Structure 1
Amino acid sequence: MSASPSTLPAGRGLLYLLLSAASWGTAGAGAALLYGPSGLGPVALTFWRSAGGAALLLLLRLVRRRPGGPVRPLDLAVNGIGLTLFQIAYFEAVHGTGLAVATVVTLGAAPVLVALGAGPLLRERLGGAGLIAVLGALGGLAVLILGGSAGAPVRAGGVLWALLSAAGYACITLYGRLIAARPGPRADALTTTLHSFLICALLLLPFGLAEGLWPSPQGLGRTAAVLLYLAAVPTAIGYALYFTGVTAVRATTVAVTALVEPVSATVLALTLFGERLAPATLVGAALLLVSVTVLAVAETRQAVAVRARRSPRRPCRPAR
């Protein structure tokens, strides 16, 4: 995560994004273990996740003893508010219209919103392979989530919350690419992630207090262990990888790569909670992984082509 945004290879950026999406998929399993026994609601859980992640990142920054680069107030506001909106609106969508529909709308609308904004804001062309990959990924996501729950209720209020969550994700993705294109020094991924979660925790604190911030004393050790995992892996590490990878990869590719998250969540559902694997789950996961692979190949070729155009050509020597 110490690579400079201007020199980070596209392949490594894709690897960081895939790892971050896989780590995000474990957050749902952690939340499922905590809901009920811990007495924490979604807002309080998100607050502790954000505050714990910020504390771990601050400790890492103090140990590292390296300057984190300049941080602009506008960058703090956009990333912090966008991150908060992305998380809270998703929990509200799950409450309003159910997990399946909320996940489909949020993760399905995010790459569409990013693709629509990447053209006018970043001048990034999607291309034929990218368009096919986006459509394949959306189809795979729909099959993966809705395959076993065709009768899931769709409620307008929950769908609106899911679209708002997708807008929050699109905001931090597009703005991350704008920061990467900005000339001059800028904050590294560790600093960006730290300040984003500090703002997220501060924004959520009053709502967490109203919901009930403190966990139940019963099983407190187990609750603390799961909260520590959520703060460390899908938060501090996952988002630091995300804010690093987003600087090296096109915005639409970033959004589609995040669709690996439900694949990771499905694997955990099978191994930890004993859920049965439906044929639709296999088909949906395969479509998602193939689509991400197509985008990865296209992204690598695009990076090679850009590098070739930027590298100075050696003048041809006249034949003697």
Structure 2
Amino acid sequence: MSPALPVRRGLLYVTLAATAWGTAGAAASVLYDRTGLGPFALTFWRSVGGCALLLAARAVLGATRPRRPGARTLLIGLGLTAFQTAYFMAVATTGLAVATVVTLGSGPVLIALGERLWTGERIGRGGAWGVTAALAGLAVIVLGGGGDTTVRPGGVALALASGAGYAAVTLLTRHAARRGQAEDPASASLWSFAVCAAVVLPLAAAEGPLPRHDTLTVALPLLLYVAAVPTALAYGLYFAGAAVLLPATVSVIALIEPVSATAVAIGVLGERPAPATVLGTAILLAAVAGMGAAETRRPSAATAVE
């Protein structure tokens, strides 16, 4: 990653990553229902596929061999493991909508608390309003989204664990950039996926690592998509953007994920949104736009380090 990545480009990268992430949960729901794969197996194949695609891209582009990961990179990999695995488990337990909203909705709060405790940094009045507005938008979406939404305490706990993993990854990435120690986004993604695959392999083996043989025509394209778009591509963009943005801003922009998940449900599954869904989405996007505007008036991480 160029240390002089402009803030506007960082905003774009995180926005694209969050939009891509919103499709992963929908793909997971289809895989659970039609192929027999479970959360651990899906996390394993997602990570292995992401590694393979990034290695292939490096070979084609003639990139240098990634250096060995340090302790921070390994911690980011563990945080990514918690983020992905707990999220897919929450989707299986309490459904796509609740899992996505709780995971991403808890992100701004956990990140703000972590940043305050770790570095003492305040998000400011504008940041606080942005976080509050984003959470309000999510509350409107969930509470007014229809009577068929099922909320299970175990699934909510898993989603909160996923949110904690996401917060840890965001804070560690930002902290590394501040100290001038940020890795190339592709290398950071590669090592993070490798750590994740190694951790969940025994669990995936115990769960059943392979889809049913009669569902391969459904499973293989979806697994390839999940590995390519919301994994290899999205996490590379995320690590690049998160290094130059405030953690609270990253967490609010990532709330686009529930919006993109809703768009997939409408455009692909034919669902019709309730009025509350439209209103909550509008509030959420307004919060994202406000946080993004505030970021463009702030010096980049590279400037701050220099």
SS at match of 2:298: helix
TM-superposed CA distance for 1:310, in Å, is 9.4
TM-superposed CA distance for 1:305, in Å, is 12
Check whether the contact 2:4–2:302 (CA below 8 A) recurs between aligned residues: no
Measured against aligned partners, the alpha-carbon deviations of 1:171-190 in whole angstroms (never above 9, x if no partner) come to 00000001101236x42000
Of 65, 68, 72, which aligns to 2:62?
65
Check whether the contact 1:69–1:187 (CA below 8 A) recurs between aligned residues: no
Q: Residue 197 in 1 paired to residue 193 in 2?
A: yes
Of 40, 44, 53, which aligns to 2:41?
44
In structure 1, the residue matched to 2:8 is 11
Of 210, 220, 223, which aligns to 1:214?
210
TM-superposed CA distance for 1:91, in Å, is 2.7
Q: Residue 232 in 1 paired to residue 216 in 2?
A: no
Structure whose CA Rg is larger: 1
Check whether the contact 1:177–1:250 (CA below 8 A) recurs between aligned residues: yes
In structure 2, the residue matched to 1:88 is 85
Measured against aligned partners, the alpha-carbon deviations of 1:217-264 in whole angstroms (never above 9, x if no partner) come to 224133211111111000000000000000110010011110000111
CA pair 166-178 structure 1, distance change in 2 beyond 3 A? same
CA pair 47-310 structure 1, distance change in 2 beyond 3 A? closer
Q: Residue 223 in 1 paired to residue 203 in 2?
A: no
In structure 2, the residue matched to 1:265 is 261
CA pair 45-266 structure 1, distance change in 2 beyond 3 A? same
Q: Structure 1: give runs of 5+ residues left out of the alignment.
A: 312-320
Between the aligned partners of 1:215 and 1:70, the Cα distance in structure 2 is 34
Check whether the contact 2:111–2:247 (CA below 8 A) recurs between aligned residues: yes
Check whether the contact 1:97–1:159 (CA below 8 A) recurs between aligned residues: yes
CA pair 36-266 structure 1, distance change in 2 beyond 3 A? same
* RMSD between superposed Cα atoms in Å: 2.3
Check whether the contact 1:103–1:145 (CA below 8 A) recurs between aligned residues: no
In structure 2, the residue matched to 1:275 is 271
CA pair 72-35 structure 1, distance change in 2 beyond 3 A? closer
In structure 2, the residue matched to 1:145 is 142
Between the aligned partners of 2:183 and 2:231, the Cα distance in structure 1 is 18
What is the TM-score of this pair, normalised by structure 2? 0.92
TM-superposed CA distance for 1:90, in Å, is 1.9
- Identical counterparts, % of pairs: 50
Q: Structure 2: give runs of 5+ residues left out of the alignment.
A: none
In structure 2, the residue matched to 1:32 is 29
Q: What letter is aligned with 1:188?
A: D
What is the TM-score of this pair, normalised by structure 1? 0.88
In structure 2, the residue matched to 1:314 is none
